[in-house]
């Protein structure tokens, strides 16, 4: 791999990792992690509810601490890093975006389902007006052909996004599929291209490298693999791999290793690994944040959580349809279905 460009990493453990701990981050935890990441020269740190601004709810999971307090805490300890926030139109509103900007957030990542970029223009426009760097975040990108993905990415660019991300929300992509899509976007767009992976098929690192090779310059990572499902591309490992490849991220590898071991590891109740349920997320192409919801539904209705996830995949359920998890669990309990094991 011969590449002559720097790779910019956004650390997502303080947002995506919220899913893994049931949205129970404390101010003390966020402060400690953000401060250590800043000292390690991580350029962007995403902080929000797992489902983005305004996500704290019964449907998505109630936050232990108000996300604005978490954002403010992260901003207060970062001397160099910029704090990013995620907003899903329909969950978060322009009010939350204004509030996040007013307390110091510098990047807005506007996330839509891969076929629904057209709901994003007003939020991208507002972020630009607020002086924020803007990202178009196309979730569940594996669900559409490359041609459709390019069409939606061009809309994000048209609305003013500085970067457009291919988002593997389910951890379902294979490396050649990532490469094809990033190459297509690189040819079609003038803005930066990013990639956000999940490790449900143990391919987050391979997919991130495929994205870089194909032209992506912005890559998401989560320290200690702290993210939804089996987690994201592991940041400290990504930094090490990039250094082996002669690519610059500007991040201090030793400091990343240390904070992963001493600060982030204690936050995890159990280590992030590919369990049977997270594996099924990638296999069935199901939104990674559905993991804990499906496990709870399985316990409630005394069914196999894998059956729930397989059925959700068949129905092509997407983020925002968490209510379907309980419906599917109840239906399986009443009429057991046969799925491929």
Binding-site residues for Mn(2+): 16, 196, 198
Rounded to the nearest 10 degrees, what angle do helices 305-314 and 323-334 cross at? 110
End-to-end CA distance of the chain: 38
| CB-CB contact of 44 with 11 (8 Å) | yes
Rounded to 5°, angle at Cα 218 from 212 and 223:
100
Bridge-based pairing of strands 163-167 and 218-221 is unpaired
| CB-CB contact of 181 with 149 (8 Å) | yes
Helix (H), strand (E), coil (C) string for 9-32:
EEECCCCCHHHHCCCCCCHHHHHH
CB atoms within 10 A of CB 120: 26
Provide the token pair at 68. 């604005």
Pairs from 238-242 (Cβ < 8 Å, separation ≥ 24): 238/9, 238/205, 238/208, 239/9, 241/205, 241/209, 242/7
Annotated binding-site members: 15-16, 169, 196, 198, 287
How far is it, in rounded angstroms, from Cα 58 to Cα 255?
Answer: 37
How far is it, in rounded angstroms, from Cα 127 to Cα 162?
Answer: 11
Active site residue 19: yes
How far is it, in rounded angstroms, from Cα 55 to Cα 59?
Answer: 9
Annotated binding-site members for substrate: 15-16, 169, 196, 287
Query: Which residue among 19, 23, 113, 123 is the active-site one?
Result: 19
Q: Which class for 154: exposed (0-12), middle (13-18), buried (19 or more C-beta within 10 A)? A: middle
Partners of residue 38 on adjacent β-strands: none
Helix-, strand-, coil-residue percentages of the chain, each rounded to 5 = 50, 15, 40
Phi, psi at residue 86, to the nearest 5°? -105, 140
Q: For residue 218, how many C-alpha atoms fall within 13 Å in the half-sphere facing its CB?
A: 23
Bridge-based pairing of strands 192-196 and 163-167 is parallel
The residues that are catalytic are 19
């Amino acid at each position: 791999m011969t590449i002559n460009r720097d790779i910019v990493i956004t650390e997502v453990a303080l947002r995506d990792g919220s899913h893994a701990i049931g949205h129970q981050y404390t101010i003390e935890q966020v402060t400690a992690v953000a401060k250590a990441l800043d000292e390690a020269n991580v350029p962007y740190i995403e902080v929000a509810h797992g489902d983005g601004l305004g996500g704290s709810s019964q449907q998505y999971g109630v936050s232990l601490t108000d996300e604005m307090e978490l954002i403010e805490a992260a901003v207060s300890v970062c001397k160099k890093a910029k704090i990013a926030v995620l907003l899903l139109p329909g969950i978060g509103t322009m009010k939350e975006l204004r509030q996040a900007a007013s307390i110091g957030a510098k990047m807005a990542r506007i996330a839509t389902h891969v076929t629904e970029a057209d709901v994003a223009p007003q939020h991208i426009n507002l972020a630009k007006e607020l002086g924020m760097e803007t990202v178009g975040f196309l979730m569940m990108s594996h669900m559409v052909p490359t041609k459709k993905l390019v069409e939606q990415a061009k809309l994000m660019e048209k609305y003013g996004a500085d970067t457009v991300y291919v988002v593997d929300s389910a951890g379902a992509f294979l490396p050649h599929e990532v490469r094809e899509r990033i190459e297509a976007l690189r040819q079609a767009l003038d803005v930066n291209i990013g990639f956000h992976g999940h490790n449900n098929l143990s391919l987050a690192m391979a997919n991130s490298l495929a994205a870089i090779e194909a032209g992506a310059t912005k890559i998401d990572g989560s320290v200690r693999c702290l993210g939804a499902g089996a987690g994201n591309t592991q940041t400290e490992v990504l930094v090490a791999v990039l250094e082996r490849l002669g690519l610059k991220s500007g991040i201090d590898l030793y400091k990343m290793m240390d904070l992963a071991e001493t600060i982030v590891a204690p936050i995890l109740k159990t280590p992030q690994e590919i369990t049977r349920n997270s594996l099924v997320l990638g296999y069935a192409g199901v939104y990674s944040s559905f993991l804990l919801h499906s496990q709870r539904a399985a316990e409630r209705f005394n069914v196999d959580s894998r059956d729930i996830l397989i059925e959700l995949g068949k129905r092509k359920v997407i983020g925002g349809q968490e209510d379907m998890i309980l419906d599917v669990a109840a239906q399986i309990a009443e009429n057991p279905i046969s799925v491929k094991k």
